[in-house]
Amino acid sequence: MTKPLLLIDVDGPLNPYAARAQRRPEGYGTHRMSPTGWTGAKPLRVWLNPAHGAELLTLAEAYELVWATTWKDEANDWIGPHLGLPGLPFIDWPQMHGKAPRGTFWKTQYILEYAAGRPFAWVDDDITSYDHEYVDRNHLAAALLLHIDPRIGLIRPDFDALADWAAAL
């Protein structure tokens, strides 16, 4: 049987970018990065928790891990090494930040295209009720859409929910 996909956003779930700027969240290290999409004068501040890599590798026993981030393949260069992750496949968005169906997040339509009928779990900080409705209507396989607070990032209950969902398939 094919494993379900675990579609992983970076900014929000792994990098709690909305946390107070003066206080790095506990367990996180600060990294300065300049991916090709970054246009700031100074490198981008990214907070990453190395324990998340171990959690994701544990989930890889039940899931196929895939980057679902605007970092695209650069997540393998900039994010994965800090978390101890191997190179992962990524969604190569046909268009970023473009038009989306009926109030959904712009990624949602492409998530369904990438999943191509496979069960998937998706962690992102931009998931809304519109995305849940769209996936329920347009994706016949099981799907778990897990909204992550970008001030906090992934936490123990999120990893537990992902493990429990995969085990219940």
Tokens read off for 3: 């494993």
39 — pLDDT class (breaks 50, 70, 90): confident
Please give the pLDDT value at position 89.
98
pLDDT score of 99: 72
- 132 occurs within a structural domain: yes
Residue-range definition of the domain harbouring residue 156 = 5-14+50-168
Please tell me the predicted confidence (pLDDT) of residue 97.
72
- Per-residue pLDDT, 94: 78
Within-domain flag for 110: yes
| Per-residue pLDDT reduced to its tens digit, 72-100 | 999 999 999 999 999 999 999 877 677 77
Within a domain: 85: yes
Task: Return the pLDDT at 95.
Answer: 73
Number of domain units in the chain: 1
Could you tell me the CATH number of the domain that includes residue 59? 3.40.50
| Bigger pLDDT: 6 vs 36 | 6
Task: Give the residue from 150, 159, 164 showing the smallest Cα distance to 51.
Answer: 159
Taking the whole predicted model, whether its pTM rises above 0.85 is answered as yes
pLDDT of residue 1: 66
In a domain, 54, yes or no: yes
CA distances in angstroms from 67 to 44, 79, 89, 94, listed in the order given: 19, 10, 6, 15
